[in-house]
């Protein structure tokens, strides 16, 4: 079938995009509001874009009522955020932080998540996450009530248990047991089904 994206409704475009662009890595983003309220939320419009500067892209669609989500507002206000990656063991906690709650609710507390201090930004890291990237906002792209944030990674954390060779920066990627988003409202995938092809 052919789909004319210039004529399709936004929700219908979303269905096509999210059911075909899979798997998508999950950015479990921690921020702090200008009033000091901690926030955590997962986003799967996310990936790494560049190594110099080291940029991550984060797409934050509007909330259900059409307004800007707390994460987007916090990033624009403070210009700082942390991208935590999601291991399978944290999937239920991550899901708890995806709900629509008022801006004064601390999702980290709501999901009973332990945190660790960051080194270069104010938002904390999620302790159960084996990988976290501290970011400063490099380029904001605001379209209506949604934000595409290009974040520059200023500090990376990889749990020592997953470093195969620290000197050569070899990470035990499979042991991280990270999950990604698939289609529909509740489908996820792991990283266990891999195959290798030699590069030409």
pLDDT in tens, 20-53: 999 999 999 999 999 999 999 999 999 999 999 9
Which residues in the chain belong to E strands, given as ranges?
Answer: 24-25, 27-32, 38-43, 46-51, 54-60, 80-84, 115-116, 125-126, 131-143, 146-158, 163-165, 170-171, 180-181, 188-189
Which residue range forms the structural domain that includes residue 143? 25-187
Is position 17 within any domain? no
Is position 18 within any domain? no
What is 57-86 written as a DSSP string?
EEEEPPPTTSS--HHHHHHHHH-EEEEE--
Rounded to 5 degrees, what are φ and ψ at 32? Answer: -135, 135
Is position 42 within any domain? yes
Residue 195 has pLDDT above 90, yes or no: no
pLDDT of residue 191: 86
Is position 148 within any domain? yes
Residue 199's pLDDT band, with cuts at 50, 70 and 90, is very high
pLDDT of residue 7: 95
Q: For residue range 154-192, what is the model confidence (pLDDT) as tens digits?
A: 999 999 999 999 999 999 999 999 999 999 888 999 988
Contacts of 200 (CB under 8 A, 6+ apart): none
pLDDT of residue 184: 84
Domain count, the chain: 1
Structure pTM? 0.95
Residue 194's pLDDT band, with cuts at 50, 70 and 90, is confident
Is position 169 within any domain? yes
Residue 91's pLDDT band, with cuts at 50, 70 and 90, is very high
Is position 129 within any domain? yes
């Amino acid at each position: 079938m052919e789909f004319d994206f210039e004529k399709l409704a936004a929700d219908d475009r979303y269905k096509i995009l999210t059911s075909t662009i899979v798997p998508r890595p999950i950015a479990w983003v921690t921020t702090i509001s200008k009033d000091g309220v901690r926030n955590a939320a997962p986003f799967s419009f996310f990936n790494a874009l560049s190594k110099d500067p080291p940029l991550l892209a984060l797409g934050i669609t509007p909330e259900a009522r059409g307004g800007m989500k707390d994460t987007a507002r916090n990033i624009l206000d403070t210009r700082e955020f942390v991208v935590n990656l999601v291991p399978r063991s944290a999937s239920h906690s991550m899901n708890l932080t995806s709900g629509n709650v008022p801006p004064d609710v601390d999702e980290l507390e709501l999901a009973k998540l332990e945190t660790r201090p960051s080194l270069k930004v104010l938002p904390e890291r999620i302790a159960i996450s084996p990988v976290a990237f501290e970011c400063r906002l490099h380029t904001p792209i605001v379209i209506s009530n949604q934000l595409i944030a290009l974040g520059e990674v200023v500090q990376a954390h990889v749990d020592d248990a997953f470093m195969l060779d620290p000197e050569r920066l070899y990470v035990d990627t499979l042991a991280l047991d990270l999950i990604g988003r698939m289609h529909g409202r509740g489908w996820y995938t792991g990283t266990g089904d891999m195959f290798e092809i030699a590069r030409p």
